[in-house]
Every structure is written in structure tokens, then in C-alpha cells.
Amino acid sequence: MKKWLLLTISAMLLLVLSGCGKSVEEQINIGVASAQTVFEESPREPNKKIGQIDLYLPSGYSIKETDDVNNYVLSKGKNKYILFVNVNEEEDSKLHYELLKNSMSDKIVKEQPVELDGAFGFTMVLNHGDEQFELIASSGGVKVSTISNDRKMDDKLVEMMMIARSVEVER
């Protein structure tokens, strides 16, 4: 009898705990910190080629070219991402960061610039209104962005940085 009671209580506790998600602030803090860790690791080996770029796409992602040779559309399920590749910018470029910092400073929820061995990157979360956020991960002249609600932002930021860090431009 005690075993069944203990098993029932354990099962109910597990259900209650699994229903508790991370808060928006926790997701943003974890996502930005984890994206910085990804930036500091060796870039992933490319597993896709499109146009003049090679890149790594995590499982579940697809990519399409657009009319603009610098922009690509990434998809994972219902989520859409924009991959912008400025082939004229080097690995140490701060252009995207400085433009966003100057034009969107009032909407920045969290940002984390990072420099490593001559490479510059950053992660930024912007308030987009109505519980939506713009997530940005950038490395040199490469920027991945999406609009997200308050779900799985931490996971998205990590995957976005994996993609941004992996892009290799054929010159």
C-alpha cells in the first residue's frame, strides 16, 4: 500500500514539475550565455551548401534562397529565420552590432558581445511587443534572426549561433 501511495505522489509531483517552464527572463539569460559558449567553441562542420555558402544546419532545419543573394530563409517546423550573409564583412566585423546598438538601444532586453581570436560575434534579444522578442545571433558578417514568443528562446539562440558560426563563404 505504501509503495502505491509513494508511486502516486511521485507521479503527480513529476507531472506538476514538468508543467513548470522557464520564465522568459531565465530563457533569455540561459540562451545568451549558452550562445556565447557556442561562439567560443570550434564552429560546426558544414553539412549544407547553398549559393556561395557552406553552413551547418541542426536537425530539422531547411534552407531556401531568396531573390536577394545575401538573404536565406531557414525553417524549422513553424519557425522561420532569416540568415543574412554579408560576403564583404570579415570575421571581426562589428557592423551588425553597432547598427543594432545605435538604432534599437531602447528595445534591447539583453545583449552579449564576444571576441575570440580575431572573431567578433554577439547575441541580442530585442523587445518586439506583445510578448514577442526578436532573437539575433551574429558572427562577423553573418546574422541569424527570428521573431519568437516566449517559448524555447534559449534553445533557438543556441541553434542560431551554431548556424552563424558555421557559415563559410566561397570566395
b/e sequence 135-164, b meaning 16+ C-beta within 10 Å: bbbbbbbbbbbbebeeebbbebbbbbbbbb
DSSP result, 75-140: EETTEEEEEEE-TTS-TT--HHHHHHHHHSGGGEEEEEEEEETTEEEEEEEEE-STT-EEEEEEET
What is the average pLDDT value for the chain, to the nearest integer?
88
| pTM of the model as a whole | 0.85
- Using the predicted structure, report yes or no on whether residue 109 has a pLDDT greater than 50: yes
pLDDT at 129: 85
Tally of residues, the chain: 171
pLDDT cut 70: percent of the chain above it: 88
In the chain the domains, ranked by start, together with CATH numbers, are 22-169 (2.60.120.1690)
Q: Quick: pLDDT tens for 119-141.
A: 999 999 999 888 899 999 999 99
pLDDT at 32: 95
Q: How many CB atoms lie within 10 A of CB 9?
A: 10
pLDDT at 14: 39
